[in-house]
Each structure stands twice: as C-alpha cells, then as structure tokens.
Amino acid sequence: VVVPAYLAIFAISIAVGSAIAGWMSAGRVVLLPAPIGTLIIAVFGMDLAWSLWGLQSTAEAETIAAFFAGQNTIRVAIDLAGMAIGGAFLAVPTFAAMQSWAHEDRRARVIGAANVLSAVFITTGLALVAGLQAVGVQIPMIILGLSVLNIGIAWLMLVTLPTNPFRDFVSILFRAFMRLEVDGLENMKNAGKAPIIALNHVSFLDGALALAITEEEPVFAIDYKIAQAWWVKPFLKMCKFLPLDPTKPMATRSLIKIVQDGNPIGIFPEGRLTVTGTLMKVYDGAAMVADKTGSMVVPVRIDGLEKSYFSRLSGGQVRRRLFPKVKVTILEPVKLDVPAELKGRKRRIAAGAALYQVMSMLMFRTTDTSTTVLEKVIETARDRGMRRLAAEDPVTGSLSYGKLLTGAAVLGARFHRMFPEKTLGVMLPNANGAVATLLGVMTAGKVPAMLNFTAGSCNILAACKAA
C-alpha cells in the first residue's frame, strides 16, 4: 500500500508542477523554468540520497500511518514531490517549445522522434542503474551521483538556452507579482516581419514589460540620457537596444537600418514618461521609420505600471502600489496612411500626425467608456482612497471622496422623493455643493442638465428648453 501512496504523491506533484509551469509561460515560450527544474531535481535528489542513507526498514509497519511515523518517511515523500515538480518544470516548457518551433509539416515526426529519444535514454538509464547495483553500488550513492550530474546539466542548459534567460525571468516576475494580463497577443504574430511595436510610456519598467510579452526579441530605442544612467546600464547588457535622441531627425536613420535588416523594434513614440497619466507629445521619428520601411505598427497600451513607484506620477495623482496589477492590450497592426504626393518636411509632419492618430485611437479603444460618471468617481475613490482630496473651493474648503459620495447619496435619496421628473436642471456656483448635487442627481437615477447662471436669462431659458 505504501508504494501506491508514494506514486500518488509523485503524480499529484507532477500535476501541480505542470500547472505552475504553464502559468509561468502564459501564452509564450519561456524556457528558464527548464534549468531551474533540473536544479530543483538535483537539490531534492541530494536530500533524498541523504534521507535514504542508513535508513532502517519499516516493512513491519501494518498501516500507512504507522509507516509514515517511521524515520525519514515523510521527508522522502517531500523529496519525491520536489523532484516531481522540478521534472514538470523541465518537461512542460521544453515540450511547448518543441511543438511551437517545429514546422507544421513535420511536427508529428518531431514529437515522435522526441518520444523515441526519451525511450532510449530511459532504457539506457535503467541499464546503467542495474549495472551499478550489480557491482554493489547502493541506491543512495546512485541518486547522489545523478543529482550532482543534474547540477552540471542545469548550468549547461542555462548557458545554451535558445531564449533570453533575463527575458524569461522578467516575464515570470511580472506574472507572479503583478498578475500580468495580456490581451491581443495574436496581433503581434499577425504583424509580419520586423514590425514597429509602439507603446505608451508610463514607467521605467515599460521596456522590461515589452520584453516579457514579445515572442521575438525586439531592439529597443532608448533615450540616450536614460541609457547613460548607472542603474540602467546593467539591464541594457541583457537586451538589444539603441540609444537615440528622439528630437533629432538623424536618429531615425539607425532605426530604419535595423528594421530593413529584418529586426522588430520597440519604441515609445512619446519620447518621455507621462506626467499626466494620459498621452504626451508624440514625436514623429517613429512615424518616419514606419513610413520609410513600410512596416506594420503594432499599438500597445500598458495599464497599471503608472501606479508603481517607477512612474513619474505623483502620489496625489494615483495611489502608488509596490505590485500593481498590470494589463497589456495589443491592438491590430496598422500601416500609416500618408499621402504619396507629400515630400520632405510635410511628409514627416503628416506621418507624425498619422502615428498620433494611431496612439490616440489606442488610448480610446482600450479605455472603458461604458461606465457612468458616478461609477467612475466611485472607482477612483476606491483606487485612491476615500480620504483623498476630491474637490476644493475657497469658501467651503476641501472635500474628500468619502464625504463627497456620502453627500451625493443623501442628496440623491432626497431628490428621488422630491422630483418625479427624469431630467433636472442644476444651476449652482462653481463650488463643492455643485459637485455633490450633480452626483446626487445621478444617484437618484435622473439626468442632470448643467446650467450656467452667468449666461443671462434668455440663454438659460433656451438651455432649459433644450434640456
């Protein structure tokens, strides 16, 4: 009965490890778990060898509970579970890479060949273990030897990985700590060869995030001042980048050459981090690269990192978090629509305007416009905190989100009882009371019609009639 118990632990642990490995990959090939899994097998294997060394037999145990009450039996189960999880870390990403990278017309043969090789290695390994046992080598010594061998294999795998280990590591970190969610990943694949990945710029982590979501590693256009920062240089050594000044037209020539060589590029058309939370000035350098090369532009919006401590938004603008939830939305690739007859500076301006239109549509299409004004205020209050400043005037002072929403609820209940009409005119001075009243009318389920009391009686009557 004990053997099936150990086998059950091993099987369940493989399932758990496979689920974790699949979660770490999340839609793209991430091979870093493979050497990590091999190292985990080695570590738990060495502990298993130590646990089995000199272990007394527990064959006389009559129940499973009595068996697991014996010396090191639970420790052996933990070691087996750890080795199973490590094995899943090794198997899942490597098989995913094999199936993803094998061409469709020979994928079945590749998988079949891999199974044949696995069978050959299993048979050879069993024969080797049987031979070692025949000459008197004990099981713990065999496990220890295999574990030491796995440490060397893990290192060899790490230095020969076909993917960028740093890129895989960043991808896992974003998924583990920032609950990364990616929508529209197929649009990246539909962009063809050497696309231009245009991202909004909200934090210093944007480049690392872009590296984590792309299947083919792009060359990043980095502001030359940022590239000189001491804390940036170690990270730049682990990826492809090109330092440039977005304000200088000559900088685009280097980018054009990179795209013409068949390399995708990642660029932030704004050229600087946002300080407002919205789209900043879009420089036309990236637009000229797209125009000159004919490459597709893939618009990508990053949401969430502006709430991290790596953004340039102040604490009053957003509620900062150590690990905010991050969402990336990738829209369909597009080509810039620039009239063919335009030349020189006019063409550059038109290309820049076309790219600005693409980025503006990115922000519009990825913004939830289905919520009401009241729902948005409540959402903002929950995000920033009920005690945060919501409104302020020179007469009545400041009003927090909590007080504003409380006032709106009280007024809403009263408006609902007082007025049967569906539309209510609101004519108040520009002060805290006007804000609370406006939200109160909405809370009552009615439509507020804002009236400007300085417009004069005729205009106010016309506005009432229109409302």
| Residues catalogued as catalytic | 201
d(CA 200, CA 328): 10
Q: Hey, is 134 helix, strand or coil? A: helix
d(CA 56, CA 60): 11
d(CA 53, CA 94): 33
d(CA 83, CA 75): 12
d(CA 219, CA 210): 11
Among residues 205, 213, 102, the alpha carbon closest in space to that of 168 is found at 213
* Phi and psi angles of residue 440, each rounded to the nearest 5 degrees, phi first: -65, -40
Alpha helices (H) in 190-336, listed in sequence order: 206-213, 224-227, 233-236, 251-260, 285-293
| 195 Ramachandran zone, left/alpha/beta (phi>0; psi -120 to 50) | beta
Give the Cβ contact number of residue 186 at 10 Å. 10
Q: Residue 385, Cα to own-chain centre: how many angstroms?
A: 25
Alpha helices (H) in 321-385, listed in sequence order: 344-365, 373-384
d(CA 89, CA 18): 7
Specify the DSSP class assigned to residue 281.
P
State both tokens at 157: 């795998």
Give, rounded to a whole angstrom, the gap between the first and last alpha carbons of the chain. Answer: 80
